[in-house]
Structure 1
Amino acid sequence: MAKASTVAACEEPRDATPAMHALRASPRIPGEPGVWVLIFGDLMVFAAFFLCFALARSNAPAAFAADHLLLDRRLGLLGSLLLLSSSLFVALGMHRLREQRPGARRHFGISIALGGGFVVCKLAEYAQKIHRSVTPLTSDFFMYYFTFTAIHLLHVLLGLVVLVLMRDSARPPLTAQRFLLIESGGLFWHVVDLLWIVLFALFYLLGGARG
């Protein structure tokens, strides 16, 4: 037990550079400014997608309602739970880094595994649809479904690479620059999670709403 405690203590950065101490002490907006530009751009693009979907659904409510019933809500819900849990572990890891406590890299590792589970879940759902001859050419609903969720899946894959870099960067000694990069990666992952929650509501919960 003593040996394990020693290993855990050495795994995470308990010592930080003076710049890191100053960063933690000063009030600021989290992350690098550039990541907020990226996040804002992503949100604007997806907002335009959501508007297009809403307009298309209003023009063919009956067809969208029928196609909506072909989605597997269980897989959609499972994917949502996996991403939400992954985002939670990123937040817990970031908290441990800020408090200079051990366990941040372990939390990031769990987040990576959960994000990978989402990818498997989404690929299984795609395979299920294709096996039933449901493709982007089937209807407008599935054209939007495959397009939006595939773009989001690319975000998830990019986010997983970011998470791996975050885990590898959370080694001692933790500098202010590395902390900002890790923090920026965490923000990106939270946005990926948020976008999926909107997509889940749009397709799985509201996709068949008549209006």
Structure 2
Amino acid sequence: MAAISTTDEPDEGGDLLLWVLVWGELAAFGILLLGYVVMSVLHPESFALAKLHLAPRLAGFNTIVLLTSGWQAALAARSEGKPKLQRLFLLLAAALGFLFVVLKIMEYSSEWTAAGDASLQTFFELYFLITGFHLAHVAFVAALFVLASIRLERSTVVMLTTVWHVIDIVWLVMFPLIYLS
């Protein structure tokens, strides 16, 4: 006979819906990245040429921004019982998330002209689809950090931090695959 837990401790991110979301996001990005890899094998010359129009240094700096934001989110999740500190960490995570968005849009502005070249079209369609999907996630969760800072709830902070770390992991796969390979 299984023991029934009678503790009043909050669930630390083990909620089924959260994990369905996490694995769903990983599957969606995995399919997109697999498509990118397949097309890069089928069109190696055009992909290599298209990558010359990317800004890997800016993307590298943006990686640092995103990871620092994830660190702030983690600090928020660990600051239970200290509402002022928790709000500060959530707002810092959000601000860095929004900085990532601004830097990515700046990067897009320099790449947009190359995307019009018909020989580079396959690369840039996949590039904008994958990075744009990621960018939408960053912007949305950063906005949710702001909302969460207004009404602090442990389960919300843990859930958002978990999703943010998934966004970090996806970027850590995307960055070398797209910019450095």
Quick check: 1:120 aligned with 2:102? yes
For 1:155-170, list aligned pairs within 5 A.
155-170=137-152
Q: Matched residues in 2 for 1:109 and 1:152: separation?
A: 20
Partner amino acid for 1:74?
R
1:136 to partner: Cα distance: 8.6
Q: Does the residue aligned with 1:96 lie in a helix, a strand or coil?
A: coil
Quick check: 1:35 aligned with 2:4? no
Q: Answer yes or no: is the 8 Å Cα contact 1:136–1:146 preserved in 2.
A: no
User: Which ranges in structure 2 are unaligned for 5 or more consecutive residues?
Assistant: 1-6
Q: Matched residues in 1 for 2:147 and 2:43: separation?
A: 44
Q: RCO higher in 1 or 2 (8 Å CA, sep ≥ 6)?
A: 1
Q: Where does residue 171 of structure 2 map in the other structure?
A: 196
- TM-score for both structures, normalised by structure 2: 0.87
Quick check: 1:81 aligned with 2:56? no
The RMSD of aligned alpha carbons is: 1.9
1:169 to partner: Cα distance: 2.1
Partner amino acid for 1:85?
T
- TM-score for both structures, normalised by structure 1: 0.76
1:139 to partner: Cα distance: 2.1
Q: Matched residues in 2 for 1:135 and 1:200: separation?
A: 23
For 1:52-201, list aligned pairs within 5 A.
52-97=35-80, 100-101=81-82, 103-130=85-112, 132-135=113-116, 138-170=120-152, 178-201=153-176
Give the direction of change, closer, same or farther, for the CA distance of 1:31–1:163 in structure 2 (3 Å limit).
farther
Q: Does the residue aligned with 1:70 lie in a helix, a strand or coil?
A: coil
Cα distance per residue 1:64-123 (max 9 Å; x no partner): 1121121101111121111000000000111111xx245111111111111110000011
Q: Matched residues in 1 for 2:157 and 2:117: separation?
A: 36
Q: Answer yes or no: is the 8 Å Cα contact 2:53–2:114 preserved in 1.
A: no
Q: Where does residue 23 of structure 1 map in the other structure?
A: 9
Give the direction of change, closer, same or farther, for the CA distance of 1:56–1:94 in structure 2 (3 Å limit).
same
Larger of the two Rg values belongs to structure: 1
Q: Does the residue aligned with 2:54 lie in a helix, a strand or coil?
A: coil
Count of residue correspondences: 173
Q: Where does residue 10 of structure 1 map in the other structure?
A: none
Partner amino acid for 2:57?
R
Q: Answer yes or no: is the 8 Å Cα contact 2:12–2:155 preserved in 1.
A: no
Give the direction of change, closer, same or farther, for the CA distance of 1:167–1:31 in structure 2 (3 Å limit).
farther
Q: Matched residues in 2 for 1:133 and 1:69: separation?
A: 10
Q: Does the residue aligned with 1:103 lie in a helix, a strand or coil?
A: helix
Q: Answer yes or no: is the 8 Å Cα contact 2:77–2:154 preserved in 1.
A: no
